[in-house]
Chain A
Amino acid sequence: MEKEMDLKKTEGMDRAGRIAGKTATYVLLTFWALIVLFPFYWMVLSSVKSYSAYNSEYIPRLFTLSPTLENYREAFTAVPLARYFANTVLFTAGTTGLMLVVTVLSAYAFARLNFRGKNLTFTLFLSLMMIPNELVVITNYVTVTNLDLRNTFSGLILPSVASVFYIYLLKENFEQVPDQLYYAAKVDGTSDFKYLWKVMMPICKPTIVTIAILKAIECWNSYVWPRLVTDDKMYFLVSNGIQEIRENGFGRENIPAMMAAVVVISVPLIVLFLVFRNAIMAGVSRGGTKG
């Protein structure tokens, strides 16, 4: 069977029209790329302008000739940015880790084990996907407050753990592992847990990595829940930190320092993205949504 050839690109088209079309396409694409990139550029640019230089520019300059790292020092000293950072890492790691345990176990149960009411339970799980977070956050807030968990990591992490969508995603992947492997393992006397740990998880590692990354991105950017349950700065995450910096931080006008803080909290995710680009994009296109 010969491969379906991709013929449309180059062949048989009017040459001049083709070049004009291509040019227009590239202009459009580049234009949008600039719109996407410009805020990042501006963020970095402002963060390396000195405080006095920035404020003396009534007309903002598109570049600087005397970059400084002073703002970064300021960002880490004037506000507890390092603290916010550490909190976020802890929150992200804790939530993602717990989520993985819960997700892997239940995906395995749905995909591999037999028990009464499995299908009904799975349908119920799926229907939970439709519940918007906004609807349940109110009671959760009250619950956490009543349990005296405000300004604790338990209060931050526990309500953020369960994700039905990831259970669904992983279950689908688990089901693609051939049954024969399971029976072979059973014949060899492998326990279910060992089979899950030694066979299923290694085979499905790409999906597990993907959902871990997606969850980590979600955690890193989460704002609403942390804002509700923390009012002690010692427990702020970066999003709340940014908001706090903006409203009470360096003084409203120290924008370069603010931008330095913004750069610092943006970099980890951008690095993560560039490293795991394909896994992230594949994972998102399989049904992730923002927020």
Chain B
Amino acid sequence: MKVILQNLTKVFPGRGRKAKEVVAVKDFNFEIPDGRLIGLLGPSGCGKSTALNLLCGLLQPTEGKIFFGDDDVTQLAAEKRGVGMVFQNYALYPHLTVRQNILFPLENLKGADRPSKEEMNQRAQEAAKLVQIDELMDRRPAELSGGQQQRVAIARALVKMPRILLMDEPLSNLDARLRLQTREEIRRIQRETKITTIFVTHDQEEAMSISDLIVVMKEGVVQQIGKPQDVYDDPVNLFVAKFLGTPPINVFYGNVRAGRLYIGEEAVLDVQGVPDQEVYAAIRPEGFELKADGRLTCGLNRVEVMGRDISVVSAHACAESDSIRSIISAKNQVDASAGSVSFDIRPDKIFLFRKDNEERIRVSAG
């Protein structure tokens, strides 16, 4: 099912007399292609959960429209939209068994839509099998591990064959090991069911690793939409550049003078056609190349060996943070006792942003 969001806006009235109203989602436009896995990504309070609740119908937008396929569902109540939702705390009914939980949405159906008893049981069984919990059908949620509860919640969302599947922070309640495993599981289930799936997360690694498309949001406004690698390689503004990637991108205060980018007094890059101005220069950790007479010289703090790579932690007076982290191949030898270290910068791994609005400055290739 294709999903289209048009100018979607949600404003919450302020609580109390003086409180200002809160724009949780502002002018969200997006055409979600059928059968994809979409990650809605942003820091806490960026409006991603609100966007999800608008999609499932628990909230009504202040402005804008939502289409599922060709149907305008904007005015449709949650129960009529045919969405499956996995809640952050799973919202499994503690007094019902796993089977009863999965059957619950089916038993809500009325009239002609209501499947026969056998069909209900069969569908519940299929859904359980899909998420591999068919052995646990007669347990109560309290008797399951966090990962198993998560699967039950997914099965309950899937059993009614939803037009789209929504997940609110699906991994946040799991421990680190389960998280890796479960995100693969979500990917697999989505591939098998081919249901358009939208999930919300604040963890960029999670979103990057399994999404077909990611939507990066900040303060209610969509910053960038694209394939994870594209967004990573081509961020539209400083926020997106900083939000994606571990270790995070290194930001320097720089100057463009006469077609050259200066960090401190060193000219590190040719940037033909960019007018003279102060800029943020952001360099991905993998964008540093060790070179004896490199253009950028930093004070060396320490070297961390990570097997395949080594991480060079250094410092620079013009850097935004105290330490600069660069990742280079372990083939390089770094003398940890040296006072300084010099790099060349890979042009495709450095991005320039305007000082005033933090928007990207495009540098023409060449």
Contacts and interface: CB of A to CB of B under 8 A. Distances in A.
A–B direct contact (CB < 8 Å): yes
Contacts, number: 25
A13 B57 CA distance: 10
The B interface, classified by DSSP as helix, strand, loop or mixed, is loop
Contact of A5 (B53, B57, B77): B53
B44 interface: yes
A12 B60 contact: yes
A124 B207 CA distance: 57
Contact of B59 (A1, A7, A14): A7
A2 B60 contact: no
Given A5-B49, A7-B53, A7-B58, A14 B77 contact: yes
Nearest to A8: B58
A12 B83 CA distance: 14
Interface string A1-33: 110110100011110000000000000000000
B78 interface: yes
Contacts of B247: none
B203 to A, nearest CB: 12
A181 to B, nearest CB: 33
Interface residues of A, number: 9
B45 interface: yes
A60 B89 CA distance: 59
Contacts of B50: 5
A5 B51 CA distance: 13
Given A1-B44, A2-B44, A11 B49 contact: no
Main secondary structure on A side of the interface with B: loop
Given A1-B44, A2-B44, A12 B57 contact: yes
Interface in A248-277: none
A12 B44 contact: no
B77 A12 contact: yes
A13 B77 contact: yes
A11 B62 CA distance: 11
Nearest to B200: A2
Contacts of A14: 77
A12 B89 CA distance: 22
Contacts of B77: 12-14
B44 A11 contact: no
Contacts of B44: 1-2
Interface in B61-101: 77-78, 89
A15 to B, nearest CB: 10
A12 B59 contact: yes
Q: What 8 A-B pairs have minimum CB-CB distances, sorted nearest first?
A: A7-B58, A12-B77, A11-B59, A11-B60, A2-B49, A12-B57, A12-B78, A12-B60
Given A2-B44, A12-B57, A12-B78, 20 more contacts: A1-B44, A1-B172, A2-B49, A4-B89, A5-B49, A5-B50, A5-B53, A5-B59, A7-B53, A7-B58, A7-B59, A11-B58, A11-B59, A11-B60, A12-B58, A12-B59, A12-B60, A12-B77, A13-B77, A14-B77
11 contacts: A1-B44, A1-B172, A2-B44, A4-B89, A5-B50, A5-B58, A5-B59, A12-B57, A12-B60, A12-B78, A14-B77
